[in-house]
Amino acid sequence: MDYEKLVTVMRTLALEAGDKIMEIYNSDDFEVKTKSDESPVTAADEAADALISDGLRAAFPDVLLVTEEQSASHGQTAPTFLIVDPLDGTKEFINRRGDFTVNIALVEDGTPVRGVVYAPARDRMFYTLADGSTVEELGPFGAEPGEVKPIRVADSDNDALMVVASKSHRDQATDDYIGKYAVKDMTSAGSSLKFCLVATGEADLYPRLGRTMEWDTAAGHAVLLGAGGQVVRFDDLTPLTYGKADYANPFFIAYAPGVALKEG
């Protein structure tokens, strides 16, 4: 894989998809449909998916593409594949809360090795460079990358941890697990932004005790790995892997390595 080309293509497609999403987000109204799994989908999901899929297939025709909005792609697996959630946080989008992202990632041998997470309503963009390290581009975003800032996970203080949790999927089991730690403060965020807050050091720990799919997490996982973080399964604390037969994730914990992890 030509990582230089990949990073350029992923960044460009994320920005173009973000523009398309914001056009619809800022319109007076948009239709919300329901998919077969009862999850919502909008014209923004579909438009962003078409744009990203066309761009990736043109640039990397020999690499398997798995995308949330194309169910035919969910039955295929390969050691190396691209995986896309064109609009992660559809509920945040529908409720005009802003915490939605464009997620594009490359998985190699079970690990997300490169990725981009773009939050167009928040003007925040995070991505891995060709060498695997992670940056936040500071914007304004143009055809060529602007100023970028290398990001790194926090040097965590286990007596005063910052925890980030889901806005839409918080439950008692999550609160009980968080209660095992000495928490200084908590914040909530939607979509894959939670991974990015750990990657930048704005949070130390993100536990997810709920259903997610690989396209929800791969890009954020790649961003976090490139910033020195880790993502492990909740049940046995082994690394979270990708390319599973149904693309469904177990519960997981994303964290800075300085955090003394507790068992569930």
Average pLDDT over residues 204-232: 96
Q: Annotation-wise, does 176 bind a ligand?
A: no
Which of 103, 117, 175, 128 has its CA nearest to residue 6?
A: 128
- Taking the CA atoms of the chain, what radius of gyration do you get in angstroms? 17
Q: Annotation-wise, does 68 bind a ligand?
A: yes
Q: Annotation-wise, does 89 bind a ligand?
A: yes
Point out which residues pair with 78 in neighbouring strands.
none
Average pLDDT over residues 25-41: 72
Average pLDDT over residues 145-174: 91
The two beta strands, 205-208 and 252-255, are: antiparallel
Q: Do residues 27 and 115 share a domain?
A: yes
Residue 204 falls in which region: left (phi positive, over 0), alpha (psi -120 to 50) or beta: alpha
Average pLDDT over residues 148-168: 93
- The type of residue at 138 is L
Q: Do residues 28 and 107 share a domain?
A: yes
Q: Is the pLDDT of residue 6 over 90?
A: yes
pTM: 0.94
Q: Annotation-wise, does 88 bind a ligand?
A: yes
- Say how many domains are in the chain: 2
Range of the domain at 92: 3-150
Q: Annotation-wise, does 42 bind a ligand?
A: no
CA distance 37 to 149: 39
Residue 86: the pLDDT is 95
Q: Do residues 35 and 81 share a domain?
A: yes
Q: Annotation-wise, does 210 bind a ligand?
A: no
Confirm whether 261 is domain-assigned. no
Last residue in a domain, options 150, 172, 198: 150
Q: Annotation-wise, does 110 bind a ligand?
A: no
Residue 121: the pLDDT is 94
Residue 163: the pLDDT is 96
Residue 31: the pLDDT is 72
Lowest mean pLDDT among 1-5, 88-92, 104-108: 88-92
Instruction: Give tens-digit pLDDT for 58-93.
Output: 999 999 999 988 877 788 889 999 999 999 987 888
Q: Phi and psi at residue 99, in whole multiples of 5°?
A: -85, 55
**Is residue 50 within 8 Å of residue 181, measured between CB atoms?**
no
Confirm whether 14 is domain-assigned. yes
Confirm whether 260 is domain-assigned. no
